């Protein structure tokens, strides 16, 4: 989130059935250019704000998980509005405490900017990355890229028994 952002952001689906509040800034934000994301969103890339599941407060409705196949073979559940079917967030790899929230579903999507661009090897050629963007052909070294506080938050939710 930017310095001028409120302490939380709200968002929801297109029809209004689902409303949520992101209760704190995300740990990290990916702009993913992989072909799975292109296919699943029908777009050139997806913006995912990585956050703890319990930091997404449902204000109204209950998104439904939809299992989708991926090129990697790893499981991927996309949580969608049961009415308009808009994708709100994903669970990559059955990690119930971690969500990849679709930035475009925020009421103020401009308040969240990507920290990195990943899988740029499959980026469509007409997309131009911002000057000085942190971009990676595939993925990156998380310890080198993530802020220390975000790494602590991620470690806390992925510990065994969580």
Q: Is 138 exposed, middle or buried (0-12, 13-18, 19+ CB in 10 A)?
A: exposed
pLDDT of residue 15: 98
Going residue by residue through the chain (162 aa), what tens digit of pLDDT does each one get?
Answer: 444 445 679 999 999 999 999 999 999 999 999 998 888 889 999 999 999 999 999 999 999 999 988 777 777 899 999 999 999 999 988 888 999 999 999 999 999 999 999 999 999 999 999 999 999 999 999 999 999 999 999 999 987 665
Sequence-ordered alpha helix ranges (H) in the chain: 35-41, 142-145, 148-158
Q: What is the pTM of this model?
A: 0.89
> What is the distance between the alpha carbons of residues 116 and 2, in angstroms, rounded to a whole number?
15
SS3 assignment, position 120: helix
Cα torsion angle, 111, 116, 118, 121, sign = positive
> What is the distance between the alpha carbons of residues 107 and 109, in angstroms, rounded to a whole number?
6
SS3 assignment, position 79: strand
pLDDT of residue 93: 82
pLDDT of residue 99: 96
pLDDT of residue 62: 97
Tokens 């302490």 correspond to what residue?
7
CATH topology of domain 9-154: glutathione-dependent formaldehyde- activating enzyme (gfa) (3.90.1590)
Domain boundaries, the chain: 9-154
């Amino acid at each position: 989130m930017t310095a001028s952002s409120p302490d939380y952001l709200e968002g929801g689906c297109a029809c209004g059935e689902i409303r949520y509040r992101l209760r704190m800034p995300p740990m990290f934000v990916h702009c993913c250019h992989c072909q799975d994301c292109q296919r699943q969103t029908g777009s050139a890339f997806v913006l995912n704000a990585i956050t703890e599941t319990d930091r997404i407060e449902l204000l109204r409705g209950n998104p439904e998980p939809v299992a989708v196949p991926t090129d990697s073979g790893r499981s991927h559940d996309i949580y969608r509005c049961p009415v308009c079917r808009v994708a709100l967030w994903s669970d990559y790899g059955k990690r119930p405490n971690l969500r990849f929230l679709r930035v475009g579903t925020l009421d103020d999507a401009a308040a969240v900017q990507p920290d990195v661009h990943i899988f740029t090897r499959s980026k469509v050629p007409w997309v131009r990355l911002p000057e000085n963007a942190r971009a990676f052909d595939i993925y990156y070294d998380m310890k080198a890229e993530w802020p220390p506080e975000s790494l602590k938050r991620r470690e806390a939710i992925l510990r065994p028994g969580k």
